[in-house]
Amino acid sequence: MQSNSDRRSESHARTYSRAECVVFSKTKEGFGGLSNMASGFLLRVNGIRILTSEALYQACRFPHLPEVQQLIIGQSSPMTAKMKSKPYRKDSRPDWDRVRTKIMRWCLRVKLAQNWSNFSELLLETGDRPIVEQSRKDDFWGAKPVDEGTLVGMNVLGRLLMELREAIKSKERDTLLVVAPLVIPDFCLFGQPIGVLSGHVTSESETVNQSAAYPTRDDGVGRHVDQSSLFDGPAVREGVPADYVHANPNAVSIGKLKSYLTNKSTAPAWLGNIPEHWQYLPGRACFAEKKIPNRGLQEKTVLSLSYGRIVVKPSEKLHGLVPESFETYQIVDPGDIVIRPTDLQNDWNSLRFGFVKNRGIITSAYLCFRAKEQLLPEYTHLLLHTYDLMKVFYGLGSGLRQNLDWSDFKYLPCLVPPLDEQAAIVRFLDWANGRLERAIRAKRKVIALLNEQKQAIIHRAVTRGLDPAAPLKPSGVPWLGDIPRHWEVRRVKQVVRILRGKFTHRPRNDPSFYDGQYPFIQTGVVAQASKFITGYSQTLNEKGLAVSKMFPSGTLVMTIAANIGEVALLTFDACFPDSIVGFVPSKVVDRDYLYLVFKSMKPELLREAPVNTQGNLNVERIGAMAIPLPLRCEQEKIAKNIEEESSSFDTAISRLECEMKFLSEYRTRLIADVVTGKLDVREATRNLPDDVAAMEIADADAEDIDTAESEAEAVESES
């Protein structure tokens, strides 16, 4: 009597001509590396070293039996690993037959991501020919030979390999280097949920050992850790490789930095003790204010301070400023230090000091300093930048917007090492910052890839639903395309009540409107919320409430200026400015479903924003936009399904963000300790390679500059 699986194999069996296919069977043959039994394709999942994809696949049978998983993975050969699993197969996960193909597809993705060069090259060598695993017994994963030239079977493994081959051809490499966990119950290894896995990013993310004087984590910071999973301890490989250290006994490590031998006390307690041989001078002895107006439009290269860097501003981003207005700007030269002195009261996050590398013009609302002869310009910038990171300037300033001016810098206590030591400090921190920045960028890149995958899941669900077999119809809306036949298309204004935030007083940051009992939410808070707005840092008083708009808890809010199209759900009553709108859904639309639709609509919202108004949207434009509308019960199912599918992405992104925050905090601490004389870098700098500047200095990513809200734009428009 035939089993169900036998009958299914016959009904889905395919016939292959050996001459037209890539057929593999033994691992030592030409295409033997395609086999799950092939060695030389090392995997690492949750920090666990696994020799073959066969061992990983077999271990996935038993998430509820970690001791069996350990037995399987501990075998030195894939065949032994497979045989060790056989006595326990009656205890396989109950849904094994339903999920085994998904698990095999995932195992192959991991094999590709973590062995990209060898495995992708092997797959591409097969060209466009069918890939077939020849098997004497298994016509589910492979195909059985029926005569010398013919094989028959379902060949599921071969078809999965062909699917992966097409993905290599059509997708970006970086997309395939990130493998999300399967959305199935109990997807675990050794009792721990399997996390998002990544391929080899060590070339981008190598960084430096941490000194014992710095904060450490229990998950391995300061140790050599090979990581293929974003959940394996630190997500970068810390320290200098052992073989490099042996060949280079003087290899640089932050962990080897020492304190100065002799120190002396300084006047301000916040500086602490400084090296005995350093000078301690007022700001007026170290740098001078410089102000050269751009009379007669001598210079036309417009510069901007963004993310602590002075960048050349492209002409298309001048936002309507006409050339005549540039006569009010000031001329700056390479080596100058530019300071954004405004709005200390409300903005504690900006990097206020930039180092000029190109001659050009910049708003006269900024201060410009030039270092005197006892300080190198680069060190002067580094010193002021360090004070900025230490938040030294936030107790200074005057006026309504609490601005800085030259008087705040004249008597600023400045630390002055010898010139050669200043050069050593600058060089060492360039090196260390470059390595840390690359580690942060690598994480940021993975976050972007995870968000792309998450966005694709959302878009598919809110435009096609959960049933892939549902008949479709044209929606008549370009961004939607075809939608399920039983869905409707409605205008936003037909299914929600739209609230418009307001703040009628200018300037908006007038302190007389703040520090009351009413939470006040601006665009940055919405943009940073993962989904729910759960906290606030600003409040309005009764005077502020009178010029603003209160939204009730539960409102879905959207930014329509600055960070356009960002959405979040409000968990408390709060006031909003006119750069944010709120949506109160009617009975026909589920709030969580609408949130997902708006997330999917962001590209369309950006296209709707008119360029001539600096990209701002308005209530009328949003209200007229079309959205897909299934029945309420189906909306709720879609929202619940996406929440379940997205949870692993959210966990991975949260972990990466925490690691980025840790690295940023560590970098701040390192800079402060080196510049204020707590760590001696002279010997470490002597051991740096000669071309460190070319190798290690990390300039801003173009995408960072493109997406940055320029810290200059507000004051440039006023100057």
- Give the strand pairing for 131-133 and 22-24: parallel
80-92 residue pLDDT tens: 999 999 999 999 9
For 336-366, the DSSP string reads -EEE--S-TTT--S---EEE--S-EEE-TTS
Burial class (CB in 10 A: 0-12, 13-18, 19+), 598: buried
**pLDDT tens-digit readout, 256-306:** 788 999 999 876 888 889 999 999 999 999 999 999 999 988 998 999 888
Assigned fold of 4-171: Tetracycline Repressor; domain 2 (1.10.357)
- Roughly what angle, to the nearest 10 degrees, separates helices 419-464 and 377-389? 50
Longest dimension (CA), the chain: 97
Joined together, the tokens standing for residue 547 give: 């010029």
Nearest Cα to Cα of residue 256 among 205, 195, 214, 198: 214
| Strand duo 367-371 + 413-416: pairing | unpaired
Q: Is the dihedral of CA 174, 176, 179, 183 positive or negative?
A: positive
β pairing state of 353-355 and 337-339: antiparallel
460-494 confidence digits (pLDDT tens): 899 999 988 889 999 999 889 999 999 999 999 99
Cβ neighbours around 244 below 10 Å, total: 10
Tokens of 707: 């997406």
Compute the C-alpha angle 126/131/135, nearest 5°.
135
Considering the entire predicted model, what is its pTM? 0.62
User: Rounded to whole angstroms, how far apart are CA atoms 338 and 329?
Assistant: 13
CA distances in angstroms from 652 to 45, 173, 193, listed in the order given: 14, 20, 12
Helix (H) or strand (E) holding 497: strand 496-500
C-alpha triplet 550, 553, 555: angle, nearest 5°: 85
Rounded Cα gap, residues 592 and 598, in angstroms = 10
| Rounded CA separation 145/309 (Å) | 66
Structure tokens at 550: 């209160």
Q: Classify 629 as helix, strand or coil.
A: strand
For the chain, what is the radius of gyration of the CA atoms? 30
What is the domain class of 481-629 according to CATH?
alpha beta
Q: Is residue 413 within 8 Å of residue 383, measured between CB atoms?
A: no
Query: What residue type is 519 in one-letter code?
Result: P
Pull the structure tokens for residue 80.
């032994």
Query: In this predicted structure, what is the pLDDT of residue 682?
Result: 94
A 10 A CB-CB count for 295 gives 9
E strands along 51-201, which residues?
A: 131-133, 144-147, 150-153, 178-179, 188-189, 192-193, 197-198
Question: Is 311 in contact with 702 (CB distance < 8 Å)?
Answer: no
Question: DSSP secondary-structure letter at 398?
Answer: B
Q: Which residues of the chain have pLDDT under 50?
A: 1-11, 200-251, 399-400, 611-614, 693-719
| 3-class secondary-structure state, position 16 | strand
- Residue 360 sits at the vertex; the CA angle it makes with 325 and 297, to the nearest 5 degrees, is 40
Q: What residue segments make up the domains of the chain, in order of their start?
A: 4-171, 481-629
> What's the CA gap between 482 and 422, in Å, rounded?
64
CB 47 within 8 A of CB 227: yes
Closest to 584 measured CA to CA, from 630, 559, 552, 560 = 552
Query: Quick check: bond before 234 cis, omega within 30?
Result: no
pLDDT at 442: 86
| Separation of alpha carbons 655 and 647, rounded Å | 12
The CA-to-CA distance between both ends of the chain, in Å, stands at 88
Going 517 to 523 to 524 to 527, the CA torsion angle's sign is positive
Residues listed for the chain: 719
